[in-house]
Amino acid sequence: MSVQERKQRERAERERLIVATARELAEQEGWDAVTTRRLAERIEYSQPVLYSHFRGKREIIGAVALQGAAELATAVRAATSAADGPRSRVAALARAYLDFAARNPAVYDALFQLDGGLAYAQEDTPEPLKDAFAALLETLGEVAGEGVRPGLFTEAFWAALHGLATLTRAGRLLPEDAEPRVDLLVDRLAMV
C-alpha cells in the first residue's frame, strides 16, 4: 500500500468516526449538543482536523442524512421484500418507515428537518437520497392507481408517513392508535 493510499484510508476512517460520533451525540443529547468543540473532544482530534473534513455542523448533518437515507432504503426494501402481495408490501413499507423514524430520531431530523446543505428533488440530489425515494417508489408505484403518476403518489404517501412520524414523536398522536393509522393509510390512500 502506498503512502497516498494509506493517507486516503486514514482520512476516510477519520471522516467515518466524525459522522458516527456526531450521530451518537445527536441521538443521546439532540443536535444542539453537536458542536465541533464537543466532537473534537470526543474523538480526540483538534477542531482544525474536523474542519479539514467538514466545513461545519451543516455538512456533518448532511453526511448523517446521507448515511440515514441509505439505511432507510435498506430497511424499506428488506421489509417489502419479505411481504406477499401489494397490501402487505405497502403496510410493511409504512411500518418500516415509521419504525426507522422512531428508532433514529436524530438521523430522521438530519434527513427531513434540519439543513444539511443537500438538494432534494433536484438534478443534483445525492444518490443516497434518490435511492431512498426509489425504495418507496418501488412499492408505492405499483398501487398508485390508473391515471396517477407513481412519483406523485409516492410523494403524497411519503408526506402522510412523515406527518405520522413527526406528530407521533411530538406526542400529538396516541401511540395505541399507531397500527390502526397504518391500516387506514394503506386502505384509504393506497386503496389496496
Q: What is the pLDDT of residues 14-65, one digit of tens each?
A: 999 999 999 999 999 999 999 999 999 999 999 999 999 999 999 999 999 9
Q: Report pLDDT for 122.
A: 93
In the numeric block, which cell numbers belong to residue 150?
407513481
Given the C-alpha cell 433536484, which residue does it identify? 122
Q: How confident is the model at residue 3 (pLDDT cuts 50, 70, 90)?
A: confident
Q: Report pLDDT for 12.
A: 93
Q: How confident is the model at residue 181 (pLDDT cuts 50, 70, 90)?
A: very high
CA atoms within 13 A on the CB side of 78: 10
Q: How far apart are CA 19 and CA 65, in angstroms?
A: 10
pLDDT at residue 6 greater than cutoff 90: no
| Burial readout 81-100 (b: 16 or more C-beta within 10 A, e: otherwise) | eebeebbbbbbbbbbbbbeb
pLDDT at residue 1 greater than cutoff 80: no
CA distances to 74, 106, 137 from 99, rounded to whole Å, are 13, 13, 18
Please give the distance of CA 147 from its chain centroid, rounded to a whole number: 29
In terms of DSSP H, where are the helices of the chain? 3-29, 36-43, 47-53, 57-81, 86-103, 105-112, 127-140, 150-169, 178-184
Tally Cβ neighbours within 10 Å of residue 179: 11
Q: Report pLDDT for 111.
A: 97
pTM of the model: 0.93
The average pLDDT across 3-15 equals: 90
Q: Report pLDDT for 69.
A: 98
